[in-house]
Every structure is written in C-alpha cells, then in structure tokens.
Amino acid sequence: MEDNECRDGRKKVRLANTPLSASQILTHILPSGSGDAENLQRILRLLTSYGGLSYAPYVLQHHQDALMSMWPLVYEAVLDPTIEPLVKVHGKPAYSYYGKMPEMNGLMRKAMSGVSVPFMTSVLDGYNGFKGVKRLVEVGGSAGDCLRMILQKHRFICEGMNFDLPEVVGEAPSIPGVTHIGGDMFKSIPATDAIFMKWVLTTWTDDECKLIMENCYKALLAGGELEMKILIKAFLMRKILTSIYEIIVFRWVGHRRKSFQSTNLVSDIQVLVEKLVEGLLAVYHQRQKQISVFVEDEVKTPEFPDEVGFIFSPRKASTCTSDEEAISANEKANALPEFSLTHGIKTFHKDGFHDFGSARLDGENTWSVVSKEAKALVHLNENALCSSSSQPTCKANKSGKDAQKSRSPKLIAVSCKNVYIWKLDFTF
C-alpha cells in the first residue's frame, strides 16, 4: 500500500483531500490493525475545528500547571471552606491570578471563544428574546464573541457593551458596534435596557450571585426607560464536558412605573434571587429524576414568550425603533397583572407529561425539538388546568384581552433530554 493510501475493509482509499473515517485513519497509522477507532473518533470530535476555533484551548486551559497544582488540595475545601484551593496555592482567586498572567488570560479568552461560538450558534438559532432591545450589555463577556454574534443576528440592537475585567477587555479584539468596558460586576454594571449573561454565575457562591444580580437590577433601573416587569429567562444546557450551564437574559418590558415604585427593591431582589436559585436547583433535581415538567404553585396559564417562537413581540424588529413604539408594543404584549411574587416551587408530576423529552435530540440541533415540546406543554397545561378545576381564570383565558390580563405565569421549566429552558417572569 502506498503512503497516501489506507485500507477500508477490502478497499484501498486515497488519503489526499478525502474525508476519512476514524477507522480509515487508524488503518493508516496502525497498519497492524490494532487501536480503538471509537476512542479515536471521540478525541477527534473534541478537537474538531470550527472556523479556526476548537475545544482545544479549553482543554489546555484546564490542564495548565497552575490549575492542576490545586487538585491535590481539593479535599481541603471540605476541611476548611474559608480559603479555596487555588488561593492556597497561588495566594489569589482565579480571575485575579489570571489578570496578572497575560498568557493565562489570553488562553482563557481563546478557550471561551472555542466553546462559546459553536454553542451560541445553536442558541441563536432558536432564541428570539432580544426583540425590542436597543442597548445590550453582556456581563462577563470575555472577548465579546457572544455579543458580536447577537448583534450580527439582531441588527435592531444599536449599542452593545461588553463588560468584563479591565485586563480581559484590554486585549479583546475590536468589534463593530461593540464597546468594551472594563470594570467589576461586583461593584457596578453599566446602565442599559437589557443584560445578557452566560456562564458567569456558575463560578460564584450564592451570596456572590446575589450581589451580581443586584447590580444587574440596578443597571436596568438606571438605564431602562421601559419598566414594570423584569423578564428573566435562563437557558440551561447540558454539554459534553461540564454539568449545567446558565444563560440569563434580563430585560425590562412593559411600562407602569407607579406600580414599580411601590415595591421594595431589596426584598424584590431577595425573592428574585431565591427564585433563581430554587429554580436552578429544581430543574437540576428534576433532571436527575428524569421528570419533565415543573410548574410553580400559582401558575395559571403558562406563557412562553418569544424564545420558542410564539406569543409576544408584535413589533417588527428590523431597525432601531423609537421608545414610544417599543413601549406601546410591549404594553400590548404584556398586559400583565400587578406585582406578585410567591415563594416556593412545587413540582408538578403529571402522567402523560413523561413523553416530553422522549424526542430524540441530536447534539446541537435541539431547539426546534424544544420549541415543539414547549408548544405541546402549553397546550397540555391549559387543558390540565382548565379541566382540573373550576378556576375562573380558565374561562377568562379563552377570550381575547381578558385572557392576556389573567395570565400570571411564575415559573415554568421544560426539560428535554439534554436541554432545559427555564424562565421566571416578575411583574411589577
């Protein structure tokens, strides 16, 4: 056999410019016939390049000496949780340490680009929750890849701000329409009308997350001309290398300032964060139990805004529109009742819902399946709620404007095999 040939069963295959399967590659590099093609395939899949990006920097980043050296101390986190292992080894928490090491910082940025760009491609494929947003801040946006992709898809967003640590944005590439802003999310976040945050809260403790979210809330208060309702949507996706990731979009929609002013910011935040944490835990635990649907106590009729492509957003989102247009559009779309928040999440088990998540999900191509399942879920919930009680809201839901007003969605999560959509609506 020539050097540029390999064997595929009985056939000889030329190597040049031909896609090769893992077993074909194996016969060429190990002509004795040994080796495991499936494992080779797995490694190749991990290292596949996507337009020049790959998971390789992520793998390298997690195997740097500086990070590996903390593993022998991991057990000490149990004995003494006051100092994390990385601080014990290097005297600083991770991000402060990276900040002093330009090479580590650069690798971190590349690692995030390698995992985030393909990930965001599939998220943006199915998510339309940015309609009406004009100014968008990404908190902890690293090199700005996610923001760039959001702005490329949604031309109506006039201004993008990538907010990250000064050492990180200092080296970030320039991106049309995006301003890189250095700062500390634990201190303050630039005023804006919407915030995108992905894979940031995962790093921090509950108390730290509360602080970050409180700053998000303040940034929206300072920047948002649209108020009344905070819409939080969190998308949790389980991916190959890690457990559960979070993506959150915060934004104001609707406008009714007077009802907002009557609420207490600190306790709202408290409840909001508790709900977020509870919601994340509920979704996580339910996933473990392979149960598909959770609905909070007081849900009457679940509302799925635009992330699954139906209800909401009557406005054409092709250009930067005026605030008035945005407000009136949002008013129509969000004729929601006064502020109400409740504690506690009840898990909702219903025979027949188990079929959710049974649809086959192939890797990245999950959103259309999620969308279908979400629609079916709405339908099932409406039927279940209307038929199971004499709730007056069910009747109201059947007719036009009243139906909109009677909706008081609190929390709903849909789980599929490896994707979770999670959202919370807070109405003021």
Ligand X SMILES: C[S@@+](CC[C@H](N)C(=O)[O-])C[C@H]1O[C@@H](n2cnc3c(N)ncnc32)[C@H](O)[C@@H]1O
d(CA 151, CA 156) in angstroms, rounded, equals 8
178 belongs to the binding site for ligand X (CB under 6 A): no
| Residue with Cβ nearer ligand X (142 or 286) | 142
d(CA 197, CA 391) in angstroms, rounded, equals 38
Taking CB under 6 A as the criterion, the residue among 110, 154, 198, 287 binding ligand X is 198
Query: Which residue's beta carbon is nearest to the bound ligand X?
Result: 140
Query: What's at 51, amino acid-wise?
Result: G
How many CA atoms does the CB half-sphere of 30 hold within 13 Å? 9
146 belongs to the binding site for ligand X (CB under 6 A): yes
Q: Which of 203, 198, 56 is nearest to 124 (CA)?
A: 198
164 belongs to the binding site for ligand X (CB under 6 A): yes
- Tell the smallest beta-carbon distance from residue 198 to ligand X (Å): 4
Q: Which of 426, 400, 428, 197 is nearest to 296 (CA)?
A: 426
186 belongs to the binding site for ligand X (CB under 6 A): yes
Which residues, at least 6 apart from 324, have a Cβ–Cβ distance to it below 8 Å? none
| Residue with Cβ nearer ligand X (199 or 310) | 199
414 belongs to the binding site for ligand X (CB under 6 A): no
CB 157 within 8 A of CB 128: no
161 belongs to the binding site for ligand X (CB under 6 A): no
CB 230 within 8 A of CB 272: yes
Residue 10, judged by CB atoms within 10 A of its CB (0-12, 13-18, 19+), counts as exposed
Looking up tokens 């929390």, which residue turns up? 411
141 belongs to the binding site for ligand X (CB under 6 A): yes
Q: Considering only 193-201, 227-235, 344-352, 407-415, which stretch makes contact with ligand X by CB under 6 A?
A: 193-201
Taking CB under 6 A as the criterion, the residue among 150, 161, 200, 280 binding ligand X is 200
50 belongs to the binding site for ligand X (CB under 6 A): no
β-bridge pairing 135-139 and 159-164: parallel
142 belongs to the binding site for ligand X (CB under 6 A): yes
User: Which x/- pattern, by CB under 6 A, does the window 71-110 give for ligand X?
Assistant: ------------------------x---------------
Q: Which of 292, 140, 308, 127 is nearest to 212 (CA)?
A: 140
Q: What is the DSSP letter of 347?
A: B
Q: Considering only 161-169, 261-269, 274-282, 342-350, which stretch makes contact with ligand X by CB under 6 A?
A: 161-169
Q: Considering only 2-10, 59-67, 183-191, 284-292, which stretch makes contact with ligand X by CB under 6 A?
A: 183-191
| Residues near ligand X (CB under 6 A) | 95, 112, 116, 140-142, 146, 164-165, 168, 184-186, 198-200
